[in-house]
Amino acid sequence: MSYLTFDKKELINLEYSLSREVIRSNRAGSYASSTIIGCNTRKYHGLLVCPLEEMDGEHHVLLSTLDPTVIQHDKEFNLGIHKYEGDHYVPKGHKYVREYSNIKASYLVYRVGGVILSREIILISKAEQVLLRYTLIDAHSDTLLRLQPFLAFRNYHALSKSNLYINTRYEEVKNGIMSRLYDGYPGLYMQSSKAGEFVPVPDWYYNVEYLEEQKRGYDYKEDLYVPGYFEFSIKKGESIVFSASTSEEAPAGLKRKFTSELRQRTSKDSIKGCLLNAAQQFIVRKQDSTEIKAGFPWFGAWGRDTFMALPGLTLTTGDLPTALEVIDSMVARMKQGLFPNTAIKGTPAFNSSDAPLWFIRALQQYEKYDPDFDIWKKYGKVIKSVLETYRDGSSGVIRMLENGLIHAEDEGKALTWMDAEADGQLVTPRPGQVVEVNALWYNSVCQALLWAEKRDKTFFKSWSPLPEQIRESFVKVFWDPERGYLADYVHGSFKDFAVRPSQLIAVSVDHSPLTSEMKKSVLDVVEGELLTPRGLRSLSPKNEAYKGIYEGSQAKRDRAYHQGTVWPWLLEHYVIGVLDVHKKTGQGQVKKIYDGFEEVMSLRGIGSISEIYDGNPPHYARGAISQATGVAALLRIDEMIEGFK
């Protein structure tokens, strides 16, 4: 395939081009995102979207977009594009687009008569700054370039509306202006490498529509403020770099900065290059922590997702120091042996029954890459606090039963990865003894004993009898020899035997409570009812509760979220099972699964893996356009394939 390259025919077809989105983030936590033709279809799109810790800790859209206009012989050709009511697109800049590629930077080429203009976008690695480089590739007459900024200055979950409180004043700075629409926000410095003229024409642009928000049943109309426009003369072969930043820049260094940043980019000319590039973008460094963002554009740092994704995002790429930074940042947030799963406006939610067990698994994987690292010496106290919390029931929600298994229940709260709610009701509550939680519990206790055997005799002696009890109880409680697979959860006398993929965790953990025959049987059932080219269905199509399409209102989507929707992250655990059970004979299937994602790179989230996919063919991409756990799973699978050699 021609990687991440699109031609005129594809670009001018709005149905095609508006369904393909680009996102670039940096280590400061900022991002830039839009469609490949530059038409925003989400409220989350923007050229500069920054986390503002001083306000609410969430991301805010400062610069929504920048419309370029080419002027020759007093004729104006506006290359921007915005959607208004009734599928009305104004201006229609997509008519002039001739080529798009995203091998290193977002690169778009326009042609207007004899004028050929390119636009490249780079998000600076460690600062709240985006650079756009415009190059006049060809022209036969004097040419002017006009750049018109559309400002939002609002939380990325909200929408901007025209108002009388906006600050329309601006401050002149070197080669540009600084604008701050509302108190509490940082100033937005808009500057260019070449001195031009800023013409103040303050105005609101009303009812700009976001197609994807409309499809999702949300408010989708926004008013954007334009302070005026910048205008430059530009000659054939000349480049002008435009900067939008929360701090003032030295214009003379903008061209060098753009070139330097471009050199550092990982080339996305293969599926591996795409995955490596995507993996880097989930790592966010703050003053006091290093985090893994769960997904783009709207997810934050989630405890469960952090530990699930960490091995794929950091260990497979050789970035072991970052892995430890992330782990240490999460450990600092622990409370009573639990990790926060989400943080809403700074308030952590300790509502995950499995995140601490994924933490232990992440350490288990880390040790494989750094065998000399003393896990118990550094994290032994933390590991013991986790296990004791589960055993003693000190959290009030999670407790060990007399049979050694873990029971987790909190009225009205979902404690597992299947946590969707619709109309105030849990869709898949799964109270009691949950299959993946108990598989991870067994794995954690076994691994902790291995670490402690020669370092902590008291712990070792106290916990040694437990693994065998857990294993026997796990098989007795979850395994059904007639069905040939595991119950999803057990609550009192009720056993839920809906065919779901969580049972794969019992197959993939290093210390599994299952025999080889049981693993093979589970894999056969999963392959027959759940496996798709994009991941594992969250529920078998044979189940009457199955929902194969994820679309519509939020309530409708939430009801489908774990009732048949496909999740790519589960492929890692399926592949581990296939290679464990089938050995070399399973390698061909694994390679086929991985290669099948090559076409995904040029679909919805360009160069990345979407959060979820429809359960029904053709398995359209849904949810967030780039998800950490999915990217991590593919990198782990790639590493396993490399191991074949």
Q: Write the pLDDT tens digit of every residue in 433-455.
A: 999 999 999 999 999 999 999 89
Give the pLDDT score at 515: 98
Nearest to 31 by CA among 99, 129, 116, 106: 129
Rounded to 5 degrees, what angle do the CA atoms 289, 367, 126 make?
30
If you compute the radius of gyration of the chain from its CA atoms, what whole number of angstroms results?
Answer: 26
Lowest-confidence region among 83-97, 212-226, 338-352, 358-372: 338-352
Give the model's confidence band at 343: pLDDT under 50 very low, under 70 low, under 90 confident, else very high. Answer: low
pLDDT over 50 (residue 245): yes
Q: Which two tokens stand for residue 69?
A: 């206009």
CATH code reported for the domain at 5-263: 2.70.98
Give the pLDDT score at 100: 97
- CATH 1.10.3720.10 at 271-644, yes or no: no
pLDDT over 70 (residue 344): no
Rounded to an integer, the average pLDDT of 155-176 is 97
Query: Three-class SS string for 467-485?
Result: HHHHHHHHHHHHEECCCCE
Q: What stretch of H or E contains 100?
A: strand 97-101
Q: CATH 1.50.10.10 in the chain, residues?
A: 271-644
Give the pLDDT score at 2: 65
Give the model's confidence band at 287: pLDDT under 50 very low, under 70 low, under 90 confident, else very high. Answer: confident
Give the pLDDT score at 348: 78
pLDDT over 90 (residue 178): yes
> How far is the C-alpha of 489 from the C-alpha of 407, rounded, in Å?
10
| pLDDT-above-90 percentage for the chain | 91
Whether the predicted model's global pTM rises above the 0.85 cut: yes
Q: CATH 2.70.98 in the chain, residues?
A: 5-263
Give the model's confidence band at 104: pLDDT under 50 very low, under 70 low, under 90 confident, else very high. Answer: confident
Give the pLDDT score at 43: 98
Contact 129, 249 (CB under 8 A): yes
> How far is the C-alpha of 360 from the C-alpha of 383, rounded, in Å?
7
pLDDT over 80 (residue 346): no
Nearest to 42 by CA among 218, 162, 204, 181: 218
pLDDT over 70 (residue 250): yes
Task: Tell me how far CA of residue 461 lies from CA of 194, 445, 449, 452, 457, in angstroms.
Answer: 72, 13, 9, 10, 6
* β-sheet bridge partners, residue 136: 117
Mind listing the pLDDT tens digit for each residue in 555-576?
999 999 999 999 999 999 999 9
Q: Which two tokens stand for residue 26?
A: 């940096």
Residue 317 DSSP symbol: T
Concatenating the DSSP letter of every residue in 428-461 gives: S---BEEHHHHHHHHHHHHHHHHHHTTT-HHHHH
Give the pLDDT score at 396: 85
Roughly how many angstroms between the first and final C-alpha of the chain, as a whole number?
24
| pLDDT-above-70 percentage for the chain | 99
Mean pLDDT across the chain, nearest whole number? 95
Contact 110, 94 (CB under 8 A): no
Residue 263 has a CB neighbour count (10 Å cut-off) of: 8
Mind listing the pLDDT tens digit for each residue in 40-70?
999 999 999 999 988 888 999 999 999 999 9
Mind listing the pLDDT tens digit for each residue in 448-492?
999 999 899 999 999 999 999 999 999 999 999 999 999 999 999
pLDDT over 50 (residue 602): yes
Q: Which two tokens stand for residue 489?
A: 């959860």
Q: What stretch of H or E contains 59?
A: strand 59-72
Give the model's confidence band at 241: pLDDT under 50 very low, under 70 low, under 90 confident, else very high. Answer: very high
Contact 409, 541 (CB under 8 A): no
pLDDT over 90 (residue 350): no
Which class for 547: exposed (0-12), middle (13-18), buried (19 or more C-beta within 10 A)?
buried
Give the pLDDT score at 1: 43
> How far is the C-alpha of 146 from the C-alpha of 137, rounded, in Å?
16
Q: Which residues contact 540 (CB under 8 A, 6 or more apart)?
A: 498, 499, 500, 529, 530, 546
Give the model's confidence band at 336: pLDDT under 50 very low, under 70 low, under 90 confident, else very high. Answer: confident
> How far is the C-alpha of 369 from the C-alpha of 378, rounded, in Å?
16
Residues in the chain: 645
Lowest-confidence region among 169-183, 411-425, 530-544: 411-425
Q: Give Cα 119 distance to the centre of its chain.
A: 26
Per-residue b or e along 57-71, where b marks 16 or more CB atoms closer than 10 Å to that residue's CB: ebbbbbbbbbbbbbb
Rounded to an integer, the average pLDDT of 519-539 is 98
* β-sheet bridge partners, residue 241: 133
> How far is the C-alpha of 407 from the C-alpha of 431, rounded, in Å?
8
Lowest-confidence region among 33-37, 144-148, 298-302, 320-324: 298-302
* β-sheet bridge partners, residue 7: 99
pLDDT over 90 (residue 395): no
Mind listing the pLDDT tens digit for each residue in 624-642?
999 999 999 999 999 999 9
Rounded to an integer, the average pLDDT of 378-388 is 97
